[in-house]
Structure 1
Amino acid sequence: MIRTYENFNAVKADVRLLYSDPGVHMALCRYRRPSEDEFFMPRAAITHVQEGEKVVYLNGVKHEMKAGDTLYIPRYSLVYSDIPVRKAAFSAVNVLLEESPALLGEWDDGAFVRGNGHAAGREDAADILGLMACSISEQLELQHYAQSAHMSLSTFKRWFRREVGHSPGQWMIGRRLERAQFLLREKGYRVAQAAQECGFGDVSYFIRQYRKRFGQTPGAVPN
C-alpha cells in the first residue's frame, strides 16, 4: 500500500532530528527490524546509507545501496524501499528539501534546471499527486481528483500540466507502469495480478502500454 512519506518514517524507525530550517530537514533514521515500504515523496530527498543495506526502486531503476552510498530522490516520485536488517541495524541520514527556487531551482528526474516561477502551486500539487499516488490501484476517473482539488476537469488538466509537466492521465499511467514493473521484477507477480494491483482493468491494454513504455511485454520480465 502506497502512503505519503512523512516525518522520516518515524512509525518504523528510530528518528533523531539533526537539523531543520524552512528549506531543509535532516534526520538520522535507524531501523532495527526489516521494513518494506511504498512511498509517495511530496518533496525531494537525499538518502545516505551509514550502515547496513537497502534496495530502492525509483523511476524504474533498482538501486542496491550499502554503507557510503547516496541517492537523490526527485519530488513527486514513487519509491519502493526494502530494508532487510539482518545482524546489525540499518541507519541512514535522510534529508528532505523544500526545493524553493532560491535553494535548488527545478530538479526533474535527476536533471538540474532553473526555477520556472510556479512555486506557489507546489503545496497543492503535492497534496493532489499524493492522493492520486495513494489510490493508484483504484480505477478512479480524473473527475474525482478534479473535484478533490475544487476545479473543473478542464481547469484541473491545465493546472496539472503547468505544475507537473505532463497531463494527469500520462502521469498516472506512468506511475502505474513503474509500480507494475516493480511488482513483476521484485515480487514475482503474475501479469494479470500486477495489472489489477496497479489499476489496469484491461490486461490487454496493460500489456500494450507496458510494451510501449519498456520495450518488452510484462511476461518477458525476469523474476
Structure 2
Amino acid sequence: MITVESAFTTEIVENGDLLVGPWRSPKQMLQAQTYDSHASIHDDATAQKLGFRGGTIEGPTHFSQFAPLCERIWGRAWFMTGCLSAHYRNPVFEGEEVQAQIEKPKPGQTVCTIGMIKRDGTEILRGTASIDGDGTETALSRRLGELKPLTDPVILADIKLGMKTPRQAIKMDFDQNMGDLYPFSLADKLKVITEPSDYYSLEHNPWGRAIIPMEMLSVLFQYRAREDRLP
C-alpha cells in the first residue's frame, strides 16, 4: 500500500553520484494525433517520411520517470513547486527501454542535473530538476543565455515580448478526451504510465484529491490553446 509518505513504489538505486530509476518502456499514445488537419511526427507513416524509424514518443512522457527520483530528494515539495527542464538529444520509439538518472544533491540543494539514456548508452535528454526556483537556474535558462539575439523571426514573427492572452478556465476529467493534439484521456494515460501512483487517481495524498502527473500538464495547457488568439 502506498502511504502518504511515499507516492511511488518505484525501485531507486544509488550508482556513484547518481540516483537511478528502473528501465522502463514508455508507450506511444499519439498515433492518432492531428495538427492543422494533418498527421504529426508521432504517426508512423509521417515520421518515416521524415527519416525516423517510426512515430516518436512525446517528450513529456519521459517526465514521469523522474518523479520518483525527485520525490526521493525533495519529498512533498516536488509536487508543489517542482520543475523539469530538458534538452532532448535523441528520439525514443515504442519498445525501447530508457532509464532516468539524477545527481545526488548536497544538503539544501534545490537544483540537480538529470539525464536519460537507452540500453545502448544513447543519450535521450539532459537538463535539470528543481524546486522553489524562479526559473533562472534551469537548463532552459542557461541554454537561452547562450543563444544570440533572435533576428528575422519566422514562427515568432508576430509575437512581441510581454504579450499576454486572457485567462481561460480549464479542466481535465478522468474520462475526458483531450482533443486532436492529445486524443486520449487521463484514465487512458494512467493505465500505461511508467510510474503509477495512488496520488494520480485517489484522494490518498496530502492534498485530499487526485493530482495531475507532470507529463499531463502539457495536455492540459494545450487543450484550449487554439482559443488564445496568439498571432
The TM-score bracket by the shorter chain reads: under 0.3
Compare relative contact order (CA 8 Å, sep 6+) and give the higher one, 1 or 2. 2
In terms of fraction of residues, the more strand-rich structure is 1
In terms of fraction of residues, the more helix-rich structure is 1
Q: Provide TM-score, normalisation by structure 1.
A: 0.25
Q: Provide TM-score, normalisation by structure 2.
A: 0.24
